[in-house]
Amino acid sequence: MSEQTIHSGFVSLIGRPNVGKSTLLNKLVGVRLAITSPKPQTTRQVVRGIIDDENSQIIFLDTPGFHAPRTRLGEYMVQAATTALADGDIALLLVDAEKATGERAFPGIPSIEANILQKAGNMNKKVILVLNKVDRVVKEALLPLMALYASAFNFAAIVPISAKTGDGLDRLISEIRRLLPEGPRYYPVDSLTDQTERDLCAELIREQILLLTSEEIPYGAAVEIESFTALADDEPQSDDGVTERELVRISAVIYCNKDSHKGILIGNRGSMLKNIGSRARGQIEAMLGCPCYLELHVKVREDWRNRRGILRNLGYETGD
């Protein structure tokens, strides 16, 4: 039998930092694949999330926010977002409607978003404008905002949503399916992501660093999983004879830029490190579905965000 032809493709979530791309991905897929925090540049790598139905498969590409980079890591993040824009069959440009209509709103389309639209136009991309956080916006303010963006680009659709509440997501999915090309099912049915459990665990630890620390600390921290060992029960625990995990042991290193940052990450008598570990362990156990023994260490790697070797070891490929 020949493979069924469906509508399938890649959809890039594009925009400035903190517009809700990762929150949207998690809401669409129905599980937490991407970490979130109030801090900009939380997402450092492209995260794929997949939703399936009988006639379509959508692979979402959550991307780092476009910004003016100051480090080699920042350059990698912007390049990763640009590559995802090029790879996508459809692009969703997310705009924070609350900020765009607030008292400190930019008088016009911000230059970063204008540059994104220019890139998308040069690539002949189908772009859906997604106005996020409309649950915090007076409805009368949306029409002028929609008109402003519509005057600058020929969008395939304009969809107001709230990634937090889920409002507008059914229409957004309908618009995406309308624009998807015919193609194969790129991933097996019921796949949710191509991320490994190690990747997800490292991100969940970094999420707690973002939430619990401030100033330079969260931006200068990275997490590497040194070991990930699953211990299984002696007897199969499921109907299909698969042995369930009894415990997962994880050893991870938190890298930081300075000795002073190391002291803050460890805290008085280890209090901060214990708090990071305790909160991360809860998230990891919920994801893995079993108890987790989590061991954390902190090491200083000065200026690691500009050191190619360290960036590559952490999975941030930077090119030549």
Class of domain 6-183: alpha beta
The residue-averaged pLDDT of 250-259 equals 97
pLDDT confidence band for 319 (50 / 70 / 90): low
Instruction: Point out the least confidently predicted range of 1-10, 158-167, 265-274.
Output: 1-10
Both tokens of 236, joined, read 């199969």
Beta bridge partners, 160, equal 131
pTM (predicted TM-score): 0.92
Q: How many CB atoms lie within 10 A of CB 126?
A: 20
Alpha-carbon distance of 210 to 197, in angstroms, equals: 20
197-313: CATH superfamily: K homology (KH) domain (3.30.300.20)
Q: Does the pLDDT of residue 235 top 70, yes or no?
A: no
Predicted pLDDT of residue 244: 77
pLDDT at position 237 over 60: no
Confidence of residue 229 (pLDDT cuts 50, 70, 90): very high
Check pLDDT > 60 for residue 308: yes
- pLDDT mean over 153-157: 97
- Residue spans of the domains in the chain: they are 6-183, 197-313
Does 86 have pLDDT greater than 60? yes
The average pLDDT across 58-68 equals: 97
Pull the structure tokens for residue 316.
């941030």
C-alpha Rg value of the chain to the nearest Å: 21
Each residue's pLDDT tens digit, 88-100: 999 999 999 999 9
